[in-house]
Amino acid sequence: MATHKAGHPAGQAPVELLNLLYEQAGLPPGGLPSALATAYGGDLGFTEPCVYANFVASLDGVVALGPQYPSSGSAISGGAPADRFVMGLLRAFADVVVIGAGTLRASLGHRWTPEHVYPAAAADFANVRGSRGRTAGPELAVVTASGDVPTSHPGLKAGALILTTKAGARLLDERLPATCTVVVLGDGPVLRMADVLRTIRDRGHTMVLSEGGPHLFGHLVRDRLANELFLTLSPVIAGRADTSRPGLVTGLELLPSRRESAELVSVRRCASYLFLRYRLHRSEQLGSRP
């Protein structure tokens, strides 16, 4: 298929248009502005409320290169403009972007807004949000049982919801920017994602985008709280040796006793990148095979 490029401001690489290879009939309409629909290769919509996650993975299933490599997602994606565009588009639909403290520490200088990852489409992203009655940008929610967060991070200075334990709140006391709100969800040492999502929904948020790492996503999968997964398959091989390089889920073993199934609902392609959308299903407890 032919590949075309959308317009872009000076200093930013153009996004190559995504080619639609497959899409399940009957997906919710989104009414994307024409420029976004052209770049995305069609419409995008959701059934609300929705908890949806976004990852980029290498061909060998690596989603993070380890704590010693900040911003490893960009290394895996190669900073592909199409991947950054899809990140921005998914954020444009979100009421809140949920991350873990590890993601915050590994993403120095980042802001979890649509225009931060793809400023060329800032006006159209704002149009998406405005047409749905959403605020100028999604709220950032940081999940941290320990309270170990870089309090000077620009993402926090812009305002964030900090979901933590009593011990975490004590550590953070008077260290966070005044724009942050701390919510204590228990005595610790861990947080339940059901409590995290309940708190987020009590704030009126129905569209929850998870950009946390494989530990956070593992908790969502374990408790059957994620509805959809957007996965960019990057045409690179990361490799594994003596470093921890996790796949989508860490800290949770499923097979052979528990099977978590997903339904492929959309496939798009840009150059050698694949953009996959899955609907996640409830798990099945597996008995022993005959």
How confident is the model over 52-92, as pLDDT tens digits? 999 999 999 999 987 777 778 899 999 999 999 999 999 99
Per cent of the chain over pLDDT 90 is: 77
| Local structure of 262: helix, strand or coil | strand
Report, as an integer, the average pLDDT of 97-124.
93
Domain boundaries in the chain? Answer: 50-237+264-278
CA torsion through residues 36, 42, 46, 47, sign: positive
For residue 6, pLDDT beyond 50? no
For residue 47, give every residue at least 6 positions away whose Cβ sits within 8 Å of its Cβ, in sequence order, or none.
28, 227
Model pLDDT, residue 158: 87
Q: Which helix (H) or strand (E) holds 138?
A: none
Determine if residue 24 is left, alpha or beta; phi over 0 gives left, psi from -120 to 50 gives alpha, anything else beta.
Answer: beta
Quote the CA–CA distance of 127 and 136 in Å, as a whole number: 10
pTM: 0.92
For the segment(s) 50-237+264-278, the CATH number from 3.40.630.30, 3.30.365.10, 1.10.760.10, 3.40.430.10 is 3.40.430.10
Please state, rounded to an integer, the average pLDDT across all residues of the chain.
Answer: 90
pLDDT band at 215 (very low <50, low <70, confident <90, very high): very high
185-201 pLDDT per residue, tens: 988 788 999 999 999 99
Least Cα distance to 245 among 83, 53, 59 occurs for 59
